[in-house]
Amino acid sequence: MSFPISIPFYAFKLRLHPGAHVFAPMNDLEAVRLEPSLKKLAEKYGEKLQTEVLNHGEFYQVLEEYRSGVFTERELDLHFPASKDGFSYPAFEFCIPVFITEQSPAGWWGIAPTLGVTAFGKDEETLVGNLEGVIRLDFVRKDRLIAVQEIVSAIWFESVTIRQSRLKLQAHSLTELEKIAEEEHSNWLSQVAQPLAKSPGQLAYGYEKELAQLSELLRNKFNRNALIVGPNGSGKTTLIWEAARNLKKWNVRGEIWETTASILTKELTKDTGWQHNLGFLCRELADREDLLFVTNLMTLFEVGRYEGNNVSMAEFLYPFLSRGEVNLISECTEEELAQIELRAPMFTACFRIIRLEQPRDGELEQIILNKVRDIAGASKIRLEQEAIRETIRLTRRFNPYAGMPGQPIRFLESIILNWKGGSDVPINQEVVIRHFCESSGIPELIVNPNRPFLIDRIADNFNHQVFGQAEAVNNVVEAISAVKTALTRTGKPIASFLFLGPTGVGKTELGKVLAEFMFGARNRLVRFDMSEFGNYHSVLRLAGAHPSSEGLLTAAVRKQPFCVLLFDEVEKAHPTFFDLLLQILGEGRLTDGNGKTANFCSSIIIMTSNVGADRQMQAPITFGKQQDSGQVAAVYQRAAEQFFKPELFNRIDRITPFLPIGQSTIHEIVGRELRLFYQREGIKYRRLNLKIRPEVVSWLAEQGFDPKFGARHLQRTLRAKLILPLASQLNLFEAEELLNAEIYLDSRQSLAFDLSSDSESLETWIEELERQNFAEYASNLRRKMAALKASPLYIQFRRDLDRLEALKADNPERFWKDAPKAEWYNTLSRIEEEAKFLHQDIIEKERMQCMACLGQGDFLEDPEALLGAWKSRFFAFQVRLYSTVFVEENHCFLAVFGKDPEGPFKLYNQILKTGNCKINYQSVWFDPGNPEKQGKQHDDLSGEHSNVYNLSNWMENERDFLKKPKPASQLYGIVFRIEAPCAWLYWNKESGFQEWTMPDGQPGRFLIVSSLNDIVPSWGIHRKEIYQKAAVRRTVMDFTMSDKTLPISGACKPEERAGVLKYELDIQFENTLEREIFKPEE
């Protein structure tokens, strides 16, 4: 049983001049309260002490709160003499009340309540003297003598009296403490999960059989564990949502609570290990009839393990599941099910497995039609049935292994949500094709049967970029035409080519041109140098040799499924690679070490090889004309048939030979290379008029022609004969000089360079003026250093250091034994030494430069570099000083809220990666299955975090935290946790709304929030009106960027955004830091 405790509670009543009063508890003088009575204050204080301390068994804290004795009020008359300089402050006297009591037999104890200082003495006289000493020390530490306001702040009251009340507490027994702890742990379910929302309309279509099986299972009295197995996008989650909607109709007991493995890890790993709290959760579930829905069963096996503990969360739950104490519903794919059975063979025996099969064509179309019509009907948008058929056709053609019907539904849903045509214009087949081409990069003329495919024009476009390879270009264009007419077989890559030929003939270049034509950009070509994969173990890296590692090849295809995969010099790969290639070319898929399947049906496969090149080069070389293409093709065909296995050779769509480059072709290549040379930064942006005579072009073509090494020999020739000599000549002139340059052939038939400058040389008086300017610049830097040492920030720093030095001088042995205090003292001492060095250094530089201007010494050698280096060290010192004094500002949080925030995230992440800071990431996911009515009371961003959002764990790797908690989850926020010196000062002005041009060309708005505290997403971040009503601070379009706060406005390429924004943020940070350091004390 519990024992009642009653102890005295003392508080000071401070009466103010207008007649009001405040209470200050004796044991917490900083907690000044405007309570109406002492009784109310004692009740609140006791309640807090009971819940926070005694209910946790910390009874010793009561001794700290206990005060005994009779307090006597006394007034101390203190006299402060005038300052030594005679004008900082005059001599003055004032009276301050203190309260003392005898702590027999130990001595006397006293307190000055208005200053919050206490003292102890062996007798009353000693106590009074000690109190006077600590009061004077408080005045010195807080610089109260400097300003009258500081003195007034010590006597801001009219009178002080001491009041006494009682604190009534309960000391619980060990049994009662355990019961209280259990009660605190009895509500874990609501902390780790949320009840599945009951949708008013039907969610799942076409799964009547599976729903009946699930209904029968949930009505069981004992084992009610269900595992839904099916491909991604097959409707597993939707089936469970539909079950939650029908629980009452089926007369099923309890509710379905939804959670994820990451949420369980985050919430259960708090005060203790997750095992302890998960046990409480299982106990709570055993007492209820509710069901726990974990979105992916496999993830439960991936969390919970750490050094010294090999038990995952799934394995911890196994005894509870086998005994029927916990009812669990989950989902996984067939591949994940196989891994689970391999890892824990008996685990799946606790579940009844319900498998979802892909519907047949007619059923599939009807399911998609019903589902999408529900979505479109809510927005009053018309959707033609032909649009659905076209979506299914495109999905099966370019992504046959995508989950059906989930992938087509998500694609159509994205069109509906971004539809601007209203109810008057229906979504038809043309709209579907256009959106598919925008998302994939495939040109519309390939997908749209109504767009003409002009083979001659396309071949001409290729031939203008790849010279002298007409037959190879025709092969590629013919293969593209087969894709256009949809005559190629589905369930395999779009096309596969084997490019054969000697080095430097354009094999890789044709791959880049094909990537640009098919997918919109040359960087859609993903190249693998197969000489790096010449042994067995290196080939395993392509598909992922271990479940903990992701394959290089599979990861590249998942990141960019619509791409050209180039396997360069494929003959150098280990034979094991060709087994992987067989599966890719035959089935268009590859499974990695994690059991996840990568889809290659949206890719074009190109293999390049030099097989047969040696044999072909032995043929007679005919200058001025190309070799017979039929003979070349026959040579390469025989060489390829001999090298590659028949089963692999027969799966390649096109064997494409490349002819050696002829003399006529090399002229065209030289012309193209010179056009590209004129676009280089050193030519384009320099004040340079460059002229290359026509005979130089012919000379370069002659020198750069080599039938064995092809165009690569031309590249080396251009570098050795043209680029490097021109660079040497340009380095002789200043970068700002206006130059005229002409390149021609001299009498010896060698390249000659004629460069002349139109600029005038600097006069001596300009040099003297610059030296004087540097002397003035050094003086300005010295004055800034002196101002820093007189700033309030530095004074506060010196005050802390002086306090530590006083403690060290008082008792050195005890001081150095206090490790944290000693370390802090060393840190402050090093900063002080650095300040002295910087001050002396700039004084010496100023003296030398000024004396040299008077003819009394030598000038500084390279004063611009020396003074610039000092200024950089001075700025770094300011950062260190501020971050040391204000440690709490060395971290902050920066959040990006809005749909698909990858654009702003990549921009901020790129900026943060260039800085010396530690970054953690957290993603915010919106669950569209939860009805928004759960948060209708919050129509702005000031509400509490709603349970329609899922937050990932904090992660250090930006690639890991973007994994969806549920298949239908949508990314609506990314939060950075930043740890760096002065992090808050750098990012505290970044909040505001931004508008970006999204990949589909439509505008998208985002909310940026910076905070010192953890940012919790408020309800409504998924609602468009939140962003549409707000004023936009920053606008980021395809090639422009503007900001209403920072001086950013004008053209800005995507690759330049991070540099431009970081430059302005750095300037803003420098100005803010300077203002904070030199601002007067408040």
pLDDT-derived band at 726 (thresholds 50, 70, 90) equals confident
What's the pLDDT at 202?
64
Answer yes or no: are the C-beta atoms of 291 and 329 closer than 8 Å: yes
Answer yes or no: is pLDDT of 442 > 70: yes
Q: Domain 664-757, what fold?
A: Helicase, Ruva Protein; domain 3 (1.10.8)
Answer yes or no: is pLDDT of 804 > 80: yes
State the Rg of the chain over Cα.
Answer: 39
Distance CA 34, CA 26 (A): 15
* Domain spanning 187-355, CATH architecture: 3-Layer(aba) Sandwich (3.40)
The amino acid that residue 217 corresponds to is L
Q: How much is the mean pLDDT over the chain?
A: 82
pLDDT in tens, 932-958: 444 443 333 333 444 578 888 888 887
Tell me the C-alpha to C-alpha distance, in Å, between residue 48 and each of 52, 53, 181, 884.
6, 8, 17, 34
What's the pLDDT at 935?
43
Highest mean pLDDT among 155-169, 228-242, 374-388: 228-242
Answer yes or no: is pLDDT of 908 > 50: yes
- Select the more confidently predicted residue: 513 or 364: 513
What's the pLDDT at 619?
55
Tell me the C-alpha to C-alpha distance, in Å, between residue 478 and each of 420, 481, 510, 565, 658.
38, 5, 14, 19, 16
Average pLDDT over residues 900-924: 90
- Select the more confidently predicted residue: 640 or 621: 640
pLDDT in tens, 203-231: 777 778 888 888 888 888 778 899 999 88
Answer yes or no: are the C-beta atoms of 228 and 356 closer than 8 Å: yes
Answer yes or no: is pLDDT of 694 > 90: no
Answer yes or no: is pLDDT of 923 > 60: yes
Each domain of the chain, given as residue ranges in start order, spans 3-171, 187-355, 361-440, 489-660, 664-757, 764-884, 887-1078
Lowest mean pLDDT among 26-30, 170-174, 701-705, 855-859: 855-859
Partners of 1034 in beta bridges: 994, 1043
What are the φ and ψ backbone dihedral angles of 360, each rounded to 5 degrees? -70, 170
Q: Do 187-355 and 489-660 come out as alike in CATH topology?
A: yes
Lowest mean pLDDT among 295-299, 373-377, 698-702, 813-817: 373-377
The residue whose two tokens read 């103010």 is: 16
Answer yes or no: is pLDDT of 288 > 80: yes
Nearest to 352 by CA among 559, 213, 502: 213
Q: For the chain, first and last CA: distance in Å?
A: 54
Distance CA 621, CA 612 (A): 16
Answer yes or no: are the C-beta atoms of 573 and 567 closer than 8 Å: yes
pLDDT in tens, 580-632: 999 899 888 888 877 778 888 889 999 999 887 766 666 555 444 455 667 77
* Domain spanning 887-1078, CATH architecture: 2-Layer Sandwich (3.30)
The residue whose two tokens read 């390939």 is: 446
The answer, as to whether pTM is greater than 0.85, is: no
Distance CA 876, CA 868 (A): 12
DSSP state of 306: B
Answer yes or no: is pLDDT of 569 > 80: yes
What are the φ and ψ backbone dihedral angles of 310, each rounded to 5 degrees? -100, 10
pLDDT in tens, 850-904: 877 776 667 777 888 888 898 899 999 999 999 998 888 999 999 999 988 999 9
What's the pLDDT at 567?
94
CB-based burial label for 989 (10 Å; 0-12, 13-18, 19+): middle
What's the pLDDT at 292?
92
Answer yes or no: is pLDDT of 232 > 70: yes
Share of the chain above pLDDT 90, in %: 16
Beta strands in 465-603 (DSSP E): 495-500, 525-529, 564-568, 589-591, 597-599
Given this structure, which CATH class describes domain 489-660? alpha beta
DSSP 3-state helix, strand, coil percentages of the chain (rounded to 5)? 45, 20, 35
What's the pLDDT at 987?
92
SS3 sequence of 836-882? HHHHHHHHHHHHHHHHHHCCCCCCCCCHHHHHHHHHHHHHHHHHHHH
pLDDT in tens, 459-488: 888 888 888 888 888 889 988 888 888 777
Given this structure, which CATH class describes domain 361-440? mainly alpha
Lowest mean pLDDT among 43-52, 1001-1010, 1063-1072: 43-52
What's the pLDDT at 932?
47
Distance CA 313, CA 304 (A): 5
What's the pLDDT at 449?
80
